[in-house]
């Protein structure tokens, strides 16, 4: 009747931006990501006959209405699978701030999916968990399997899920997140996703992605860090170029993000091989080789605009705790 799960968030090397099916969150393209060992959600789900409705606490506070509604909808899916009508008390907390480009919905819905299915005594395969997590939040499906992950776009709900390409131990690279802001997004990424078609560049982006995915999988296979990093940066700017040209335009990076990007260019000039990526938020993710981390952290600590530094190894998948 009670279960708790821990799920890491993930950073996309090839991004998920735009959906083929809005309601089922089937993406317009496959994507590639790495789980983030230190950016996680821990979520507990407790069922009780005494509850008359679901109760949801996020970071020790009652969930706001829109969050509550989305989580109850996800619990409804799981109740239907379990043929149960029990309500749940859900408590979830994140190791990182919300709404800043670290996908709290990814780790949150991955952890919720595993904890809730366990509480309802469902025993689902990793594939089925990934599909179910996707229905809660697209990128959550990538947080179910461990390590370096591919979310295969699929043709329908049953074939759109994520699987491990390589385990966390495969490659000793890091994602150092320079946290520069905690402000809420003016336009949520869910809303932004639904407007990708308004960018004149979206179709071209989608047409080019299969080749880019082939290339990055090759870079992963041969541990070609320069190739990997180059593709990661181009891909981030490609997605943000689409965002900039949507109606309304989405400018998710801010002044601090740009300063960090310029700092990364300087690092490379000094021989520190680091690359950036940005999600739908201002924080800059710095992808680097593990031995370079101390130098990079030192440089970031000298930047006043950096409020916090989060160092992530390739993370595990979602696990019961």
Residues contributing to the site for its own copies (CB under 8 A): 200-201, 204-205, 208, 233-234, 237-238, 240-242, 244-245, 247, 249, 251, 253-256, 258-259, 261-262
Nearer to its own copies, 197 or 249 (CB): 249
Q: At 117, list the tokens.
A: 């299915």
231: nearest Cα among 289, 171, 277: 277
Shortest distance in whole angstroms from residue 261 CB to its own copies? 7
Shortest distance in whole angstroms from residue 163 CB to its own copies? 28
Shortest distance in whole angstroms from residue 207 CB to its own copies? 9
Q: CB-based contacts of 235: which residues, under 8 Å, 6+ apart?
A: 13, 14, 15, 212, 277
196: nearest Cα among 139, 241, 162, 235: 241
Shortest distance in whole angstroms from residue 140 CB to its own copies? 28
Q: At 144, list the tokens.
A: 């179910």
Nearer to its own copies, 224 or 233 (CB): 233
Cis peptide before 198 (omega within 30 of 0): no
Which stretch of DSSP H or E encloses residue 3? strand 2-14
Q: Nearest 5 degrees, angle CA 313-CA 316-CA 321? A: 125
- Other CB atoms within 10 Å distance of the CB of residue 172: 12
Nearer to its own copies, 2 or 204 (CB): 204
Shortest distance in whole angstroms from residue 183 CB to its own copies? 11
Nearer to its own copies, 48 or 198 (CB): 198
Nearer to its own copies, 111 or 278 (CB): 278
């Amino acid at each position: 009747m009670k279960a708790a799960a821990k799920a890491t968030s993930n950073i996309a090397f090839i991004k998920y931006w735009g959906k083929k099916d809005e309601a089922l969150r089937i993406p317009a393209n496959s994507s590639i990501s790495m789980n983030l060992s230190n950016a996680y959600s821990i979520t507990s789900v407790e069922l009780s006959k005494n509850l008359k409705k679901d109760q949801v606490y996020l970071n020790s506070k009652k969930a706001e209405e829109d969050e509550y509604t989305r989580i109850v909808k996800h619990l409804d899916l799981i109740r239907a699978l379990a043929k149960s009508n029990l309500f749940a008390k859900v408590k979830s907390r994140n190791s990182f701030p919300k709404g800043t480009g670290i996908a709290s919905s990814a780790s949150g819905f991955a952890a919720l999916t595993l904890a809730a299915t366990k509480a309802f005594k469902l025993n689902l395969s990793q594939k089925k968990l990934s599909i179910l997590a996707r229905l809660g939040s697209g990128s959550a499906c990538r947080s179910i399997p461990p390590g370096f992950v591919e979310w295969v776009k699929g043709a329908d709900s049953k074939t759109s899920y994520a699987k491990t390409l390589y385990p966390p131990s495969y490659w000793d690279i890091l994602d150092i997140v320079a946290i520069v802001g905690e402000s809420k997004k003016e336009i949520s990424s869910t809303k932004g996703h639904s407007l990708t078609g308004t960018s004149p560049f979206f179709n071209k982006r989608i047409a080019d992605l299969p080749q880019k995915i082939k290339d990055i999988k090759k870079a992963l296979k041969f541990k070609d860090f320069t190739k990997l990093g180059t593709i990661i940066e181009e891909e981030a700017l490609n997605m943000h170029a689409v965002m900039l040209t949507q109606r309304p335009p989405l400018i998710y990076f801010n002044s601090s993000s740009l300063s960090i990007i310029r700092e990364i260019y300087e690092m490379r000039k000094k021989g520190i091989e680091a690359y950036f990526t940005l999600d739908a938020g201002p924080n800059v993710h710095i992808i680097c080789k593990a031995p370079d981390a101390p130098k990079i952290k030192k440089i970031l600590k000298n930047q006043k605009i950096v409020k916090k530094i989060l160092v992530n190894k390739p993370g595990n998948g979602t696990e019961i705790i």
